[in-house]
Amino acid sequence: MRLEHYGKIILLNGTSSSGKTSIAKELERILDGYSYVSIDYFGREFKRLHQAELVKKRPQGALDYVVSKFHDDIARRALARENIVVDHVLQEQVWVDDCARKLADYEVILVGIKCPIDVLEQREIARGDRIIGIAKYQFGRVHNNKLYDLEINTAEASPTHCAEVIRLYLQQESPSSNLTTSQKMLGQKD
């Protein structure tokens, strides 16, 4: 059962340097009533506020815990009727499983933010604030088995154009596919 009378979720999934943040900020600007949330920002703030709690966990366990709390936050916002644009990197299967479970009852538009690896690597170097190689690590993992409502190639269009494509998609009478959120995230058609 989808909770359609609660907030809508536009989940942008892609690697580091794929253009998610630029698109998300543009969507926040052009869509009335949508807020932007980011795994990067949430993770930094959560770590700052809960450092003692995280010290008790192994590094990967701490990261998985933070991502799980991010999914809780997304669900809480939707339950409170907040429409949100989510900037995410679903790179680990445990994150995908957790996200699919926690958002299963909500209306989620799953958008794949894609870009060729050579462009990602060029952007990563040009930015200067990323760990070199993270996009390559994520490249083969982030889009595995996802059934997206919409896919965007950021090498071919500006963030403004990409956001406009998403906005037009949302204007369709029933933009979300007939698949459940879990089916889309886990790549299950039936």
Q: Is residue 1 part of a domain?
A: no
Q: Is residue 42 part of a domain?
A: yes
Q: Which residues does residue 110 pair with via DSSP β-bridges, in sequence order?
A: 11
Span 97-132, pLDDT tens digits: 999 999 999 989 999 999 999 998 998 888 777 778
Q: Is residue 109 part of a domain?
A: yes
Number of independent structural domains in the chain:
1
Residue 52, pLDDT score: 54
CATH code of 90's domain: 3.40.50.300
Q: Which residues contact 8 (CB under 8 A, 6 or more apart)?
A: 78, 83, 84, 106, 107, 109
Residue 103, pLDDT score: 94
Q: Is residue 128 part of a domain?
A: yes
Span 54-92, pLDDT tens digits: 455 555 566 788 889 899 999 999 999 999 999 999 999
Single pTM value for the model: 0.86
Q: Is residue 81 part of a domain?
A: yes
Q: Is residue 95 part of a domain?
A: yes
Q: Is residue 3 part of a domain?
A: no
Average pLDDT over residues 8-21: 94
Q: Which residues contact 89 (CB under 8 A, 6 or more apart)?
A: 13, 14, 15, 16, 20, 39, 138, 142
Average pLDDT over residues 39-54: 59
